Structure 1
């Protein structure tokens, strides 16, 4: 799910990105391929939800709520742990990790958590489970007891109890779109194989941002998604059937801060 980092975890607070801007992406043309009369409403609903302040983690929660006990490197390691936990559970819906990390940051914005592995990993595991349940609400699947024991040294019941606490911490507001949601939304009319490759790379770029605290609470999910798509198209050299500025509502020049931060996260070629 998550690209392995090529950075020193102690520098996980490096990327600087643009702050929230209600002007960017507010107007857009859905493009010639839109035949569904409800498409504008779907897009407007996603845009409105991502601007709901209840969905936003606090960009300063480490110094405020966590009072400096949690560092950016500790958070980065926790996100990588979540990735490993999700992969060992297996068969989780696409988008689970992205949503789980959003839940984690929102919870840490309102709940002080002791800065030790047991407490943090229990919250993180509950966030992964909640993210999976939201992304695939029809599934009645429970956590694998052996995986939970191996990763946490506790029971499925303990994780499920923590899930209930997290739902309350999140004020039951859990359906906000993530950057993953927006990549899927922006690419819903892709048809060619090379366009699917752009989408796949963009999703990997989105996942690469998850471990870096510099993206938390500082940029809208739609802007992260749009930046990933602009960069993926450039890397692969693909001419898309629809203009990305038209599809996303963003101009590349407005996203340069985020795009440059994404470039910094790319693996470096060894000389």
Structure 2
């Protein structure tokens, strides 16, 4: 996974006027005149150092007490916890795992289930609140007791600590954000299948520490979309390379790494 170092990802980030010109040349209709600026803003935010987890936090901040396999189990636990909460938006887990990795980059956490799961549960709750800002739903006390053996109050206290650990920077784009952004012009059923598969591919990466801090969210999203299109063999109505600002050849390493996560076919 060394070839996924973030520095190796090309900084192909179209500025607003370029994307506007490309969109016009492709015949794409832009109902919102501010949309090119939204694209530029997302690209700028993902490069903000505050939004990046440390690719070496296990050896540095966690002093080797946390292993990739332990983190993988924790991410799977977060998925189960979120599913039991129910009614959460599909991009929430991607955001919650991003919060988890950023927090573990700046805060040492005892390597036992109780401490790690409390941090993870708080990350899930924060992610849910960010994605559902209009929702006033509180955590279910019985669910928290069953999963954590503690109280909602303890989780909420940890949420506040995580909020401070994150430097109050909560809205950085994730790979899910960029898949959603890159497919905003998709309208046909086959195109929506590509989008759906790309999101599943992004979720597949979440337990694997080899991807953490080594590739920009936009590049991860682009890699997932390139691979999804290849798997499904779907012709798209728009040029993905133009829309995303990445060429498939620039992301070969990440695309191959994603492909290795797919279930092997029985021969």
TM over 0.5: yes
Match of 2:11 among 14, 19, 24: 24
Tell me if the contact between 2:51 and 2:172 (Cα under 8 Å) persists in the aligned partners.
yes
* Residue 211 (structure 1) shift: 0.4
Residue 121 (1) aligns with residue 121 (2): no
Alignment partners' CA distance in 1, 2:197 and 2:5:
22
8 Å Cα contact 1:93/1:132 also seen in 2:
yes
Q: Mind listing any 5+ residue stretches in structure 2 that lack a counterpart?
A: none
State how far apart, in whole Å, the 2-side matches of 1:221 and 1:190 are.
Answer: 20
Quick one: distance in 2 between partners of 1:117 and 1:130?
Answer: 20
Equivalence for 1:233: 229
Of residues 28, 37, 42, the one that matches 1:33 is: 28
Which one of 164, 170, 176 corresponds to residue 168 of structure 1? 164
- Measured in 1, the distance between the counterparts of 2:11 and 2:55 equals 20
The aligned length equals 258
> What's the offset of the Cα at 1:17?
1.6
Kept in 2: contact 1:111–1:169 (CA 8 A): yes
Q: What's the offset of the Cα at 1:16?
A: 4.7
**Structure 1 CA distance for aligned equivalents of residues 10 and 46 of structure 2:** 13
Cα distance per residue 1:80-124 (max 9 Å; x no partner): 000000001110122110000000000000000000000000000
Q: How does 1:1-271 map to 2 (within 5 A)?
A: 16-20=3-7, 23-27=10-14, 29=19, 31=23, 32-35=27-30, 36-271=32-267
Q: TM-score, normalised by structure 2?
A: 0.94
Question: What's the secondary structure of 1:238's corresponding residue?
Answer: coil
SS in 2 for 1:29: helix
Q: State the shift of 1:24 in Å.
A: 2.7
Whether the 8 Å contact between 2:141 and 2:151 is mirrored in structure 1 is yes
Q: Secondary structure at the match of 1:258?
A: helix
Tell me the SS of whatever aligns to 2:203.
Answer: helix
Is the partner of 1:154 in helix, strand or coil?
Answer: coil
Superposed CA RMSD = 1.3
> As a proportion of its length, which structure holds more helix?
2
Structure possessing the higher relative contact order (Cα contacts under 8 Å, 6 or more residues apart): 1
Runs of at least 5 residues in structure 1 that lack an aligned partner in the other structure: 1-13
Q: What TM-score, normalized by structure 1, do the two folds share?
A: 0.92
